Amino acid sequence: MADDAATPWLVVGLGNPGGEYAGNRHNIGFMVVDLLAERMGGKFKAHKAGRAHVLEGRMGAPGPASRRVVLAKPMSFMNLSGGPVNALRDFYKVPLERIVAVHDELDIDYATLRLKLGGGDNGHNGLKSMTKAMGADYHRVRCGIGRPPGRMQVADFVLKDFSSTERKELDWFVDRSADAVECLVLEGLERAQSAYNS
């Protein structure tokens, strides 16, 4: 892995742009990077290289252990995320293993986290688009949303807001997901997995 302090990490929250999608299960990636932006004390701005909003800053305590990080929210809709992410990757010269996708995951129970490097897309259109654009060897922070109840279609489920019951835990879950991203960037995948995989 590149450990050049000048080489940034690119942390991508996956979601759909627009107010009508803001509270959707599919947008938990946006929620997590919004919280990370708040912690870094900055605001997202439109980026000239790709259809994305970005924030450049540092993660971790000030000093040599902190890391240069670019937070990004693709503004292209979920199933076209790969184009903007790849444009940012080229612009910032980020190696694939320093890219982190934060996304919703159907096959994991709600409010459960799993971190991994590489792998399949599990039918997730945002990951499918990213993998097609640049290969699969990037990190994933998988935020469990569980499976749709009864006969509800997956597409309907992910584009619905979190239920009132789920919302009771949502702030805690987003906070924990942001902690996991920070741990991954600052301390590495193994440490983050042992602390946050449940």
Residues marked as catalytic: 26
Whether 85 and 133 have beta carbons less than 8 Å apart is answered as yes
- Cβ neighbors of 40 (< 8 A, separation 6 or more) are 55, 57, 58, 59, 69, 71
Q: How far is CA 165 from the centre of its chain?
A: 23
Amino acid letter for position 38: E
How far is Cα 23 from Cα 15, in angstroms, rounded to an integer? 10
Angstrom distance (rounded) from CA 51 to CA 122: 25
d(CA 142, CA 48): 28
**Residue for token pair 């709600």:** 110
- Of 184, 92, 76, give the one whose Cα is nearest residue 125: 76
Q: What does the alpha-carbon distance between residue 70 and residue 160 come to, in Å, rounded to a whole number?
A: 28
Residue 61: DSSP 8-state: S
